[in-house]
Homo-oligomer: A and B are copies of this chain.
Amino acid sequence: VLRGDITAALRRALIEELAAVGYGRMSVEAVARRAGVAKTAVYRRWGSKPEMVLAIVAEVAERKLSLPDAGSLRADVQVVLRIMAQALEHPLAAQIIPDLLAEAGRDPKIAEALQVALRTAQDEVGGRLIRRAIARGELRADANPELAVDLVVGPVYWRLAVSRRPLPPDQVGALADAVVAALVAGAPA
């Protein structure tokens, strides 16, 4: 019977190590060391570094983020922006997410695991959010949901995760306004 406290310590250590050195440099040995545990304890659970990362990342990523109807397109967009901002402002996530996204370009397994997580946002935003706006008459029926996702998610990701400048809370409104305008304009393909 695998000891639960060790599993938990390893989970925690993996996240920290991943943030500290990145996927490429990360080693099972270092994770075990950080968790204060022998290497065998890791291999008994996951078998290899990618398996371990995938299992734990998937675990974290699959926490459903429900996106309740906020009443208007602008309010919905603001919710999405706030959720993303909150996630990307967590230091560990800010390190790990771009790292795994970069690695996804090489390792299809990782790409797939992340797609599962992304699909959530993808579907939520591009799917539900846009469909709701169409239903409300805020967007035209032929609005392109794909482009919509890029317009909503792109700016905030670029700001926080790529150019790593903070996003003052009082600018979220302005950003939302701009994004909504973009959505309205972007539709009529």
Contacts and interface: CB of A to CB of B under 8 A. Distances in A.
Contacts of A102: 22, 95, 98-99, 101-102
A104 to B, nearest CB: 8
B162 A101 contact: yes
Contacts of A1: none
Contacts of A177: 185-186
Given A147-B171, A186-B178, A162 B157 contact: yes
A105 B164 contact: yes
Interface of A is mostly: helix
Contacts of A183: 178
A155 interface: yes
Nearest to A148: B178
B158 A150 contact: yes
A163 interface: yes
Given A98-B105, A101-B98, A178 B164 contact: no
Contact of A24 (B24, B105, B122, B182): B24
Nearest to A95: B105
Contacts of A174: 144, 147, 186, 188-189
Interface string A153-181: 11111110011110000010011011111
* Top 5 closest pairs, chain A to chain B, by CB: A24-B24, A178-B186, A181-B185, A154-B154, A154-B155
Interface of A: 20-26, 94-95, 98-99, 101-106, 111, 118, 122, 144, 146-147, 149-151, 153-159, 162-165, 171, 174-175, 177-186, 188-189
25 contacts: A20-B106, A21-B24, A21-B106, A24-B24, A24-B26, A95-B105, A98-B105, A102-B102, A105-B164, A111-B164, A122-B163, A144-B171, A144-B174, A151-B155, A157-B157, A157-B158, A175-B186, A177-B186, A178-B182, A178-B183, A180-B185, A181-B184, A181-B185, A182-B182, A182-B185
